[in-house]
Structure 1
């Protein structure tokens, strides 16, 4: 089964890139065939993603309780499955005992101890499926692109590979490669196929993204300097000690020489799971709880009756606790300054993508100048990388600093919510209004993650993290659809000025009806997808800090105001300039219908659609993080 995991996850990441390479064999005049090939590639990627969903469901089914509900088992947590996969890689398990854990670990750059490491859980998988769906719809929406079709479609598919690779990566270096891979396709797509100010918008996008990328690069280098020898398989430590002793003392070193070599061994890694363990151990030390740090007895430990609930087992089996604690305390990573600096770098690196105020100004320009399909991917998928990075990287690796700065991070989210809504109200460009709307909606993601409670109030924080993840998926659905709606309007009116539109309901009743559902979903109407995530976030924020929750709640009025006003200006009334607009074409309706259906289903049955397979992973994430805060 591990080989099966390698095949499926690698296929999921690289199938779009392979299809992009396949476009090179098409003669230049076969533009229609190129479109169908790209559509086939993106549809195949979505099919693979759905197969992985089925496989992950089977993994959860193997850990059901007596009532048929997923247990909050340690075996369903990504970090535990990653540890088991690493142990299996070091000590191969008999084939009969192997099981599918949807984790891939293979050597990549041996000299740096970097791995080709991919993993699936309930946090990443919804975003992978969303990416595959939005990419498919973006390719379908690109049918009217008639300039350099081969290059355009290849860049879209390459962009999809970068996004999915980032969502699945468990190695920081591989994550950084995938994260930065998206820069070139987006720059060219905006700069070559964009509007009149496309070069300015593309350059601004690159500068902001590179700023975030440099922050991540510095943080990655600093984290690689950490000696993680007490948090990894001790057989690997002994193997390295033996190799070093042979180099230093000869082919047959004495036991004393081996002991000396063992004391000097350092292991450095880019592995997210290992770095998160170090971060949790540091958080306990800096918060005065070092007595809770304990050594594991085996790789994966199921909680047993009689276990001391105050102990947090982070050191690898076989480690001497006193020596490990002493080594940890002597490292720069175990200082408040290091934790603050690295968290700030990680937060800024991902905040550019969210984006938070004041690092948001690239987004309206990029949306206004980008072609409609690129705006769909930008709003529906790329912004989610910022929120995902905070969940997967920033908070777990620097939990002490995250806990200390949680209120201020929440304040940043609230500022984004209110500022984005206020600025959106004053826009007359349809696309720019939706861009600022995205700034406002993504602020809920930051607020939900920041509503950090202690172990005794972990349930409220889980509401916030659940709400943040749900908000990312819901916003991905509605934002993708709304930017496609703008594209439909622009194809007919050849402008996006809200003051010159109006009256679309008469010539385009189907379009107006589907648009109404999506506008109401975006404003958070109960029964539609936008309500669930925002409600969970607001509940968590209220229990964490009413001072943060109140302005976020009041912003709901602003959101309803500008979205309803926009819908009225576009669809109601009479307008001679729009009365002859044609109704949706079959292709346009096929692009819009799945998003309308998802907006309804996510609002009506959120548990079946998302929470049931997201909750075990979120619970494991909360279980790791919440005890770190006194």
Structure 2
């Protein structure tokens, strides 16, 4: 029941923000902030109590189910394990920072803005805990529609084009997902005479190899579009570059992670043989994404598009790690999900701060900002080094584990993927050089980080350093992953 309250708090908070803004626009900001802080407190409680929970294979910390539409086999089935807890912590942590990012940036339709922001977070939270496939699809759609409004209403100059492209790509993937869910629903019903969308029941469905592969592809296409995987990445740079700062933070830090989560939770456990049959191709596309995304990032002059293409590169490591079916690599995948959300999210926040001050995203029109913005320059160095995989920072742990786990599985692809680390250093150093070093592009004094912005960047900085120095709590939390992929894993 507490999981329903967790999602309900966000939904109710969003409605309150919309209503309160009609009379007191400032009140909407505080309602949004307190709402996400309340859910963060719940997630922290889950994490602390989970550490003392007696674990066993396939054990679930919370498993709540009540009938919703019993005639169709649809229930409100929500469950929580270590993976879900880690992702909920990331969701609410970045959610708090997204509200703070929007504090002064959003000046029009404030109530509706925070309504969409909180409902996006509610949809994402639902995706991470839904164990009924109809409910999962429902939450999957809930998180997309408010994000569309965030881009098209509060985005930059080409926001309509970016919002339409985002919506078309994601809805096309959602259509494949819906068809695959319905196919699984009817096949299971014909076999057992029990028509249900329950995840644990559908896990037991017996599928012919060809049928299994086609249904698996329906799930996989929806998830890799969101990841995103080459060649389904085309929507990402436009959505990132045109979205408001908080929108970019949530896109990079959370929405991309729902694709990785979907593969871990649904594709591998439900279709193990079909997933194994395409593993080499998936790893190959992941490696292509690592190298291609890094090269495209190096070629960009738009700061937000540059950071967007780094996401394509870094999420390629996630795909490689998942389809290596290796326990060490899987640990790296979870770390990459967390650290990429923090480091890339921080870079997008920084890009938003620079855009607010300089009114441009073109790095060729920047330069020499270190003189007037030393605090932001220091933060930028930290997160560009994190993005490059510097030791002692969280991204290094993640990428090292993925490469270590995949080396014995496919040495060639692992070696090529490691080239991405070199390329990431190149585009990161180029970005630092263009923005903060060299001759100042303007004689106007630029204000350094404010107190509110300092709180955001300090929180992100502490997180990425802590994960780099002491990742063990995360490793322990996801050690007993509940998705049943153990027969596929290589020690």
Q: TM-score, normalised by structure 2?
A: 0.97
Q: Is 1:48 equivalent to 2:42 in the alignment?
A: yes
| Equivalent residue number for residue 234 of structure 1 | none
Partner SS state of residue 58, structure 1:
coil
| Equivalent residue number for residue 147 of structure 2 | 186
CA drift of 1:48 comes to 1.4
Does the 8 A contact of 1:462 with 1:622 survive in 2?
no
* Cα distance in 2, alignment partners of residues 546 and 588 from structure 1: 43
CA drift of 1:24 comes to 4.0
Structure of larger gyration radius? 1
* Cα distance in 2, alignment partners of residues 424 and 184 from structure 1: 28
| Equivalent residue number for residue 413 of structure 1 | 286
2:115 is matched with which residue: 137, 150, 154? 154
Does the 8 A contact of 2:367 with 2:441 survive in 1?
no
CA drift of 1:269 comes to 2.0
2:134 is matched with which residue: 156, 160, 173? 173
| Equivalent residue number for residue 136 of structure 1 | 96
Pair 1:213–1:193, CA change in 2 (3 A): same
Aligned pairs for 1:527-566 within 5 A: 527-566=392-431
Gaps of 5+ in 2: none
2:25 is matched with which residue: 28, 31, 34? 31
Does the 8 A contact of 2:19 with 2:111 survive in 1?
no
| Equivalent residue number for residue 616 of structure 1 | 480
CA drift of 1:164 comes to 0.2
1:194-228 deviation line (CA, Å, top 9, x unaligned): 11111111000010011100010010000001236
CA drift of 1:393 comes to 0.7
| Equivalent residue number for residue 369 of structure 2 | 504
2:163 is matched with which residue: 191, 202, 209? 202
CA drift of 1:271 comes to 1.8
Pair 1:580–1:443, CA change in 2 (3 A): same
Does the 8 A contact of 1:493 with 1:578 survive in 2?
no
1:272 is matched with which residue: 199, 205, 208? 199
* Cα distance in 2, alignment partners of residues 621 and 267 from structure 1: 22
1:17 is matched with which residue: 11, 16, 40? 11
Does the 8 A contact of 2:365 with 2:441 survive in 1?
no
1:490 is matched with which residue: 351, 355, 361? 355
Does the 8 A contact of 2:335 with 2:397 survive in 1?
yes
CA drift of 1:574 comes to 3.0
CA drift of 1:276 comes to 2.3
CA drift of 1:579 comes to 5.8
* Cα distance in 2, alignment partners of residues 382 and 576 from structure 1: 35
Q: Is 1:587 equivalent to 2:452 in the alignment?
A: yes
| Equivalent residue number for residue 313 of structure 2 | 440
| Equivalent residue number for residue 323 of structure 2 | 450
Partner SS state of residue 212, structure 1:
helix
1:558-594 deviation line (CA, Å, top 9, x unaligned): 1111011111211112305166111100011111111
Partner SS state of residue 51, structure 2:
helix
CA drift of 1:540 comes to 1.6
Partner SS state of residue 470, structure 1:
helix
Q: TM-score, normalised by structure 1?
A: 0.76
Pair 1:606–1:579, CA change in 2 (3 A): farther
Pair 1:24–1:429, CA change in 2 (3 A): closer
Partner SS state of residue 78, structure 2:
strand
Does the 8 A contact of 1:120 with 1:168 survive in 2?
yes
Gaps of 5+ in 1: 1-5, 64-72, 82-100, 231-264, 283-332, 453-460
1:171-213 deviation line (CA, Å, top 9, x unaligned): 1100000001112101111111111111111000010011100
Aligned residues: 490
Partner SS state of residue 310, structure 2:
helix
| Equivalent residue number for residue 339 of structure 1 | 212
* Cα distance in 2, alignment partners of residues 520 and 357 from structure 1: 25
Q: Is 1:387 equivalent to 2:387 in the alignment?
A: no
